[in-house]
Amino acid sequence: MNSLNITNLSKTYANGVKALNNVSLEIPTGMFGLLGPNGAGKSTLMRTIATLQEADEGTITLGDLDVLTQKNEVRKVLGYLPQEFGLYPKVSPELLLNHLAVLKGITNKKERREMVKALLHKTNLYDHRKKNLGGFSGGMKQRFGIAQALLSNPKLVIVDEPTAGLDPAERNRFYNVLSELGENTIVILSTHIVDDVKELCPNMAIINQGEVLLKGNPTKTIEKIEGKVYQKTIKKNELEMYKQEYKVIAEKLLQGKPVIHVLSDHNPGNDFIPIEADLNDVYFSQIFG
Amino acid sequence: MWYEIFKFEIKYRAKRPDTYIYFAIVFLFSLIAVNFIFEKGLNPVKENAPYVIAFTMAVVTAIFTMITSMIMGVAALRDFDHNMESLMFINPIKKKDYLLGRFLGSFVVLLFIYSGLLLGIMLGEFMPWRDTDNMLTFNLWHYLQPFLYLVIPNLFCGGVIFFISGALSRKLIVVYTQGIIFFVLYQITAMLTKGRIDAPFFVTALDPFSFQTINTIVRFWTTTERNLTMVPMDGLLLYNRLIWVIIGIVVFIVGAYKFSFNVVRDKGSKKKSKAFKNKEKKSLQEDIEIPKVNIRHDIKANFIQLKHHTFFYLRSILKEGSFLAIVLCGIGIIFINSIDLGNIFGVNSYPSTYLVIEELQEMSMFFFLILLVFYSGELIWKERDVKLNLIHDSLPISDFINLTGKFLGLLLMYLILIVVLIVSGIVFQISKGYYQVDLVNYTVGFFGEIFPFLMLFSFISFFFQTICNHKYIGHLMVLIFFIVTLALLILGFNHGLYSFGGGDLGTYSDMNGYGHFPLSYSLFKVYWIAICMLIFIITVVFSVRGTETQLKKRLKLGQLRLNSSLIKLGTVAMFIFITTGCYIFYNTNILNTHFSTSTKETYKANYEKTLKRYEYLPQPKIVDVNLKVELYPKERNYTAEGYFILKNKHNTNIKEIHIQKLANDDVVLEDVYFNRGVSISNEFEEFSYYVYTLDQPLVPGDSLKMEFKQTYTTKGFEGDNQSNTQIVYNGTFFNNDHFPTLGYNKSYELKDNNTRRDYGLSPRITKAKIDDPKELMNGRSGGDGYKINFEMVIGTEADQTAITSGTLKKEWIEGDRKYFHYKMDTPMINFYAVVSARYEVKKDQWIPKNDSLGDPVDLEIYYHKGHEYNLDRMMKSMKASFDYFSTNFSPYQDHQMRIMEFPRYETFAQSFPSTVPFSEAIGFMMDIDDEKDVDMTFYITAHELAHQWWGLQLVAANVEGRHMILESLAQYSALMVMKQVYSEEKIQQFLKGELERYLSGRTSERKKELPLALVEGQQYIHYGKGALNLYAFQDYISEEKVNLALRRFIRDWNGFNGQLQTDRYATTADLLGYFREVTPDHLQYIIMDLFETITLYENKTTEARYTTISKDQYRVNLTLDAVKYRIDSLGVEKSISINDWVDIGIYADGKNGKDKLIYLKKHKITNQITQLELTVNQKPTKAGIDPKYKLIDRKTKNNVLSFSE
């Protein structure tokens, strides 16, 4: 499978919200991070790639496939974990995985059993395989979600905000599973957490208000602002003043006191300390810069 | 606080479109509700009579129970549905306020929606299609009263139950199930009150919709009462309403107490999740490799997927608690109901397979429909309901397989239930000791009838669920579709090609099986399945996948789904649809003529308008019939060839002979020859009416010979309910109506007066006045014969026996055909039947006790093999009847009497000269328990045999009162025969049924009730009241005296050798003359009461005391209250002074716990209140006035009172 090409994709909802505005991306195999704040249009883009939503304009191709028209062909190689989903409460994970596996085309019983077993182990659900899904915690549900997305050796995996609501340990486990996916797989991970992308993705794009602000390799994008980020601890009431005077790209609290990052080609002085730029700074510089 | 929630609820609902949709549905339906519910018309009860409005409102409320459940059930469920409960319940609201606010808010919305009922039904009064002639003037209170008393309590109680069940269960399906429980209760009450004169109080009080309550109250109301009186809000109805309002309040209180704000409240699941946590140990297998799998998407894989999918959904339905609840309710109902299997005249039939199937079909249909509507919705919405849809929709499975899997899952569920039904049917049969289980019959009845029906409607349900994309609106649309389908049928749009799911499998009969129906039936089903396949393809194309739900977008997406296999399937379906459609059309409309209701009506109206002028044109009478009839049962054809001799019985010349051929395209009258010069006019060809002008007129007393040949040819098949069931494979039965008749045929006229008015015809005179000179000369309605000589040869297939009237002179075989030659030894009336079937025969002979009673009579019963159950009863009845009738009336005129069984397409027995065709549905299959049942087989046989005297010896003029002579005298005669053989209790039991028949029959009289002696043909009068009053008559003046009068009547008026040789036929005026002759002076008044007027009584015992004088002497003191009513000429009931002889009876304890009558004597009652003192020699238990209900009394229960000492 080659790459996923998104060209000039636009989508406006019936209520007038412009969810995607002329989005173009080329997504190669490997992990691809789609970073953006809530409401940036990430899920819309993901659903459109996952054949579940129509675009007003533009094209998406996966290798030779036209994603917008050859939906069923795309689905054959697709693994999708939506941002929000539910499960039949009165069914066990084993049964539901088995059911989904059949529908995905794993019609050989033995293969299916092996696959379901492996994925249950992989997602640490094996001990709960006979329980009803109704009693699952958020983390277990999410793990089940990833298990079903991997059922058919997919070539294209789309995971939409998978780590929301997971504790750090579960998040790590989740990453491990994702990162193991072979090199031949396109994995698109949408998130609003910068660390997710930093840890996993060789490629990424930042998207806000339906537009792609930046695309590239996280390290390379960091290099671009390397040496331009300065930090200072300030008082609360000074924030507005700094915002007017400097290009403030991030503000956070450190032990209760506001700390700001500014972007500047030269050292602004005034007690600003130069710091090593990270992806967060890239992200915030794109969003707020 | 609650007020805030209340306000919020109303505001929320006010913004929701469904509130207005529901309002519109209720409103629009209410506009037509009266016409829909009383589709058969109400005349002469006015369409806006108070009782009609009340009943309509109750029905509409019941029909829309679903809306009530949607509005109220959802009120408390909504927060859970939208996962809002955590946000809602942490607010500082009190539980009471929350529930009260929500409930009242929703209830107000519900009242708003149902105000559509009030408005709709009121406005309906002024709709253009309503006829002011059938309406009273508008009266607001007639609408408000039932709305306040019936609708609002129903809504309240239903609302509470739905609201609370929603709040407690948090599941919509549980709410729906509550609705089903309502219907189950209603069905139980309906069943327990069916046909009972004294329904138990608790039953009527418990009906949640109060249908039975209203029906019980108005049961014996006459037309006038129905038009004038409002259903009173007291007694029964008041209790009923109170009970349900109290139930509502109790449910609310208990429910509110049980309701809890906890988000997780199920203790079981709490424990479970705890257990989960403890077990969360790492079974570190995370480094396991994900194996490689083969992904297949070929045909085989598709099949595996489809199978898997199907069973997945089937399992998901079967696991639902609600499913089990519905099924258990259904089985419960069926079990209770089957007790009344095939009940005819109060006697159950043997549980033959077809009866069990019909019962199961009827009973289970309602539950199947519920399951269909609910679970098709559940399946379509299954993924979206749990929000699994995004995952599910991105699976590489085609929409076709996805929907088909769901569909097949649903069908499999039906199949399982059907198997359960069949098994329980068989168990039922065996438990009744009946072992002739017919598996083929079960298979056809369920898999051939019920299953295709469910399948077709499931397709429709899937379609609406998909197109509406709203589960509840989808449910409602299916319901509306169903109602519209029924309504169109009722309106006369009855062709199976456009009436949804058309096709008619006819009635199953042991004799004829499914007959000729299966071919056309299966073609119709194939045709509809093909249509539904096309609908299903549309459903697939429009089904929602992903997040796009706008219809326009779905259409665009759907175009992508139209892959080659779907198009191929569509083409095949289209091909089948067109070919079967054309073939059916060719058969029903080209080979045969299809009559819609209106074309039929137009034809009849035109017939009357064109030809009525010939009604009394003098025509010769048939005096000789000689025919050779060749029956071809396999082809369902016949030919008839022979001659009639026609004689001029008038005193004027006859110039024209008018021949009416049966108006049926299958009948062709080929060659008609007269032995005179004639010229024929085809002017009225379209009515199959031909005028032959004689070159030389037929002078009085002269006769001529008319030869003719007629064929009946069945061509292809006909549309629903139009196929002839008279000439069939096994069990042919038709009468001389098939052969040419003379002159205008009144039986073609439109009968319903409303329809007649639509066609500009004046109301029909059912029977001519008792002194109408023209009809006094007419012996049989439309009869053309006069003392005919009859001879017929019938040929049929070799394994069948063909029978008609007369002595069998010869019987022979010619090739593969068998011939029978019958000849009547004495003249008879022009009324004969042709019957042919594969028969067994039972023979016997009646030997008269002495010579004066006539010659011996050969008795024969031709029956279908396996139907031997009641042959002995029939035989016994025939002998007893001949004994009694020949002794008391006159000798029998023929030498044989044959009973012939015919298929259950019709359910009657009919007396022809020396033959009685007897339907297999009555008599033959009755399972008579002599302990508790009346031997109806015996009774019906005696009744039919009595017609050999009343109708075949004594011919009654075709005027008012004719049916009293024919039917009431037959009822009396049969009762007297029964009295010879059976006990007094059996007679009482029978008469109780007749009292019920009369009292309920008179309430639905469409014109005006007439006295018995002037009856026009109303069965409740000539059968019901006839039996009651003639029985009372013989009780007053003695059986001997009645028989003496009848003997004189038949002696003088016998149509063949009567002593009075008049040129007219007998009437009730003549009969009552003979009655007067034998009635003593002091009882002459009863002739007027019983026969000449409509007289009713309200007799009751208000006080009954006794004192012990000695061990064998008891003084009894009774206070009696007797009122006598007379219906005047306007139909108004008035009380009149009483001066009558009435039975007074006293009971004591008899053997084995039964009551024993120790005193029964007629006392003259002259005042409304009467005190009586009597002495008896046994300790009395109860006593009263008219204890055996000889007088007609609407409340019989209060006639007798138990003693207080």
SS3 content of chain B, % helix, strand, coil (to 5): 50, 20, 30
pLDDT at res. B268:
40
Q: Could you tell me whether strands B833-837 and B732-735 are parallel, antiparallel, or unpaired per DSSP bridges?
A: antiparallel
CB A112 within 8 A of CB A101: yes
Between A and B, how many residue pairs show a Cβ–Cβ distance under 8 A? 153
Q: Do B295 and A104 touch (CB under 8 A)?
A: yes
* pLDDT score for B1128: 83
With a CB-CB cutoff of 8 Å, which residues 266-295 of chain B face chain A? 269, 272-273, 276, 279-283, 285-286, 288-295
| Structural domain span for residue A282 | 223-287
Adjacent-strand bridge partners of B819: B795, B812
Main-chain dihedrals φ then ψ at residue B431, nearest 5 degrees: -65, -25
Q: Does residue A9 carry a pLDDT above 90? A: yes
Distances from the Cα of B659 to the Cαs of A164, B555, B600, B619, B783, in angstroms? 93, 63, 21, 10, 13
d(CA B1148, CA B1200): 13
* Residue of chain B minimizing CA distance to A14: B550
Burial (CB count within 10 angstroms: exposed 0-12, middle 13-18, buried 19+), residue B176? buried
Q: Among B162-171, B896-905, B1117-1126, where is mean pLDDT lowest?
A: B162-171
- The one-character DSSP state at B920 is I
B606-659 per-position pLDDT tens digit: 999 999 999 889 999 999 999 999 999 999 999 999 999 999 988 899 999 999
B377-432 confidence digits (pLDDT tens): 989 999 998 889 999 999 998 899 999 999 999 999 999 999 988 998 898 888 88
The tokens 């001879």 sit on which residue? Answer: B791
Residue B274 has pLDDT above 50, yes or no: no
Residue A259: band (very low, low, confident or very high) from pLDDT cuts 50, 70, 90: confident
The more confident residue out of B673 and B1152 is B673
- With a cut of 80, say whether residue B76 has pLDDT above it: no
CB B528 within 8 A of CB B500: yes
* Whether A205 and A277 share a structural domain: no
Q: Over the stretch B1004-1056, which tens digit does the pLDDT of each residue have?
A: 777 788 999 999 989 999 999 999 999 999 999 999 999 999 999 999 998 88
State both tokens at B854: 């006539």
Partners of B1181 in the β-ladder: none
A102 closest CB neighbour out of B281, B304, B388: B304
Question: How close does chain A come to B397, measured CA to CA in Å?
Answer: 6
**Of A216, A236, A259, the domain-final residue:** A216
pLDDT band at B83; cut points 50, 70, 90: low
The count of domains in chain A is 2
Question: What distance lies between CA B143 and its chain's CA centroid?
Answer: 29
Q: How far apart are CA A12 and CA A35, in angstroms?
A: 20
Residue A257 sits in the same domain as residue A114: no
Site from B390, B543, B561, B566 to mutate, A interface, most A CB atoms within 10 angstroms: B390
Contact A259, A280 (CB under 8 A): no
**8 Å CB contact of A124 and B273:** no
Asked if residue B952 lies in contact with residue B1010, where contact means CB atoms within 8 angstroms, the answer is no
Query: pLDDT tens for residues B836-852?
Result: 999 999 999 999 988 88
pLDDT digits (tens, 9 = 90+) for B1059-1106: 777 778 999 999 999 999 999 999 999 999 999 999 999 999 999 999
Does the pLDDT of residue B988 top 70, yes or no? yes
A55 within 8 A of A11, measured Cβ to Cβ: yes
pLDDT band with cut points at 50, 70 and 90 for residue A253? confident
Tell me whether residues A72 and B398 touch, CB distance under 8 A. Answer: yes
Rg of chain B in Å (alpha carbons): 35
Residue with tokens 């299954």: B382
Residues B124, B284 contacting (CB under 8 angstroms): no
Q: Do A232 and A186 share a structural domain?
A: no
Q: Which chain B residues touch A105 with a CB distance below 8 Å?
A: 295-297, 301, 305, 396
What pairing do the DSSP bridges indicate for beta strands B1113-1127 and B1169-1176?
antiparallel
CB-based contacts of B838: which residues, under 8 Å, 6+ apart?
A: B730, B799, B800, B801, B864, B865
Tell me the Ramachandran region of residue B1195: left when phi exceeds 0, alpha when psi lies from -120 to 50, beta otherwise.
beta
Burial B482-513 (b: 16+ CB within 10 A, else e): beebeeebeeeebbbbebbbbbbbbbbbbbbb
Residue of A nearest to B558 (CA): A69
**Contact between B282 and A124 using a beta-carbon 8 Å cutoff:** yes
Q: What residue type is assigned to position B336 of the chain?
A: I
Average pLDDT over residues B92-100: 79
List pLDDT tens digits, range B205-253.
777 777 777 877 777 777 777 787 888 877 778 888 888 889 889 988 8
Distance CA B34, CA B124 (A): 8
CATH 3.90.1070 fits B1095-1205, yes or no: no
Query: What CATH number has the domain bearing residue A211?
Result: 3.40.50.300
Give CA angle at A188 (A185, A194), nearest 5°: 130
Is residue B987's pLDDT more than 80? yes
C-alpha B581/C-alpha B584 separation (Å) is: 5
Whether B396 sits inside 8 A of A76 (CB atoms) is yes
Nearest CA in chain A to B264: A135
With CB atoms and an 8 Å threshold, state whether A52 touches B553.
no
Q: Give me the residue from A82, A114, A137 closest to B391, CB to CB.
A: A82
Asked if the Cβ–Cβ distance from A80 to B391 is below 8 Å, we say yes
Kindly state whether residues A113 and A178 are assigned to the same domain.
yes
Helix H, strand E, coil C: the string for B130-197 is CCHHHCCCCCHHHHHHHHHHHHHHHHHHHHHHHHHHHHHHCCHHHHHHHHHHHHHHHHHHHHHHCCCC
Same domain for A228 and A208, yes or no, is no
Do A175 and A60 belong together in one domain?
yes
* CA atoms A93, A99, A104, A106: torsion sign: positive
Question: Does A189 lie in the same domain as A206?
Answer: yes
For the cut 80, the answer to whether the pLDDT of residue A210 exceeds it is: yes
Q: Do domains B832-951 and B1095-1205 have the same CATH topology?
A: no
Residues A203 and A229 in one domain: no
Beta-carbon separation of A103 and B297 below 8 A: no
Domain boundary among A175, A196, A216: A216
Could you tell me if A57 and A196 lie in one domain?
yes
Cα B1200 from Cα B632, distance rounded (Å): 61
Q: What is the CATH architecture assignment of B832-951? A: Orthogonal Bundle (1.10)
Neighbour tally for B831: CB within 10 Å: 21
pLDDT of residue B724 exceeding 80, the answer is yes
Are A103 and B296 a contacting pair at CB < 8 A? no
Instruction: Please report, for residues B306, B773, B956, B1017, the alpha-carbon distance to residue B963 in angstroms, rounded to integers and kept in the order given.
Output: 66, 18, 8, 6
Whether B222 contacts B1009, CB under 8 Å: yes
Identify any residues that bridge with B1108 across adjacent strands, giving them in sequence order: B1114
Flag whether pLDDT at B46 surpasses 60.
yes
Quick one: pLDDT band at residue B271, thresholds 50, 70, 90?
very low
- Answer whether A90 sits within 8 Å of B319, measured CB to CB: yes
Same domain for A212 and A239, yes or no, is: no
Q: What is the pLDDT of residue B336?
A: 65
Check: CB of residue B747 under 8 Å from CB of residue B781.
yes
pLDDT tens digits for B644-695? 999 998 889 999 999 999 988 899 998 899 998 999 988 899 999 999 999 9
In this prediction, residue B707 carries a pLDDT of 96
How much of chain A, in percent, has pLDDT values that exceed 90? 34
> Looking at the structure, do residues A199 and A229 belong to the same domain, yes or no?
no
Q: What is the pLDDT of residues B454-510, one digit of tens each?
A: 999 999 999 999 999 888 888 888 988 988 888 888 777 878 898 898 888 889 999
Least confident of A72-76, B188-192, B540-544: B188-192
B1174: its two tokens: 């009597």
Give the chain B residue nearest A88 (alpha carbons). B386
Which residue of A103, A108, A190 is the best one to mutate when testing the B interface, meaning the one whose CB has the most B CBs within 10 A? A103
pLDDT of residue B269: 42
User: Is there a single domain that holds both residue A200 and residue A235?
Assistant: no
How far apart, in Å, do the first and last CA atoms of chain A sit?
37
Residue B202's pLDDT is 67
Asked which of B195-204, B289-298, B773-782, B857-866 is least confident by mean pLDDT, the reply is B195-204
Q: What is the distance between the alpha carbons of residues B159 and B180, in angstroms, rounded to a whole number?
A: 14
- Report the pLDDT averaged over residues B887-913: 94
Q: Label residue B92 by pLDDT band (50, 70, 90).
A: low
B442 band by pLDDT with thresholds 50, 70 and 90: very high
- How confident is residue B84, by pLDDT bands cut at 50, 70 and 90? low
Query: Region B135-160: what's the mean pLDDT?
Result: 88
Three-class secondary structure assignment of B797-837: ECCCEEECCCEEEEEEEECCEEEEEEECCCCECCCCEEEEE
Provide, as residue numbers in chain A, all residues whose Cβ is less than 8 Å from the Cβ of B397: 75, 103-104
Residue with more model confidence, B93 or B1187: B1187
Decide if pLDDT at B977 tops 80: yes
pLDDT for the residue B85: 62
Report the first-to-last Cα separation within chain B, whole angstroms: 63
CA distance B827 to B787: 5
Tell me how many degrees the CA angle A178-A180-A184 measures, rounded to the nearest 5: 95
Helices and strands counted in chain B (H then E)? 37, 26
Of the CATH numbers 1.10.390, 1.10.3470, 1.25.40, 3.10.450, which one belongs to the domain with range B952-1093? 1.10.390
The runs of H, that is alpha helices, within B432-516 are: 439-443, 451-468, 471-490
The residue of chain B with its CA nearest to that of A77 is B396
- The pair of structure tokens assigned to B524 is 């119709």
Q: Could you give the C-alpha distances from B854 to B144, B847, B895, B986, B1135, in angstroms and in order?
A: 70, 9, 9, 31, 50
- Going from N- to C-terminal start, the domains of chain B cover 2-261, 299-450+465-495+521-561, 832-951, 952-1093, 1095-1205
* Nearest residue of B to residue A83, measured between CA atoms: B390
Q: Are B548 and A121 within 8 A, CB to CB?
A: no
Q: Can you give the pLDDT at residue B1031?
A: 96
Instruction: Give the residue from B1166, A199, B557 showing the smallest Cα distance to A189.
Output: A199
pLDDT for the residue A171: 82
| Confidence category of residue B280, pLDDT binned at 50, 70, 90 | very low
Encoded amino acid at B484, one letter: V
Average pLDDT, chain B: 87
Three-state DSSP class for residue B245: helix
Whose CA is closest to B527, among B603, B581, B575, B598? B581
- By Cβ distance, the residue of A82, A105, A122 closest to B296 is A105
Task: Look at phi and psi of residue A105 and say left if phi exceeds 0, alpha if psi is from -120 to 50, else beta.
Answer: left
Task: Quote the pLDDT of residue B277.
Answer: 47
Q: Closest to A135 (Cβ–Cβ): which among B272, B282, B290?
A: B272
pLDDT confidence tier of residue B28, bands split at 50, 70 and 90: confident
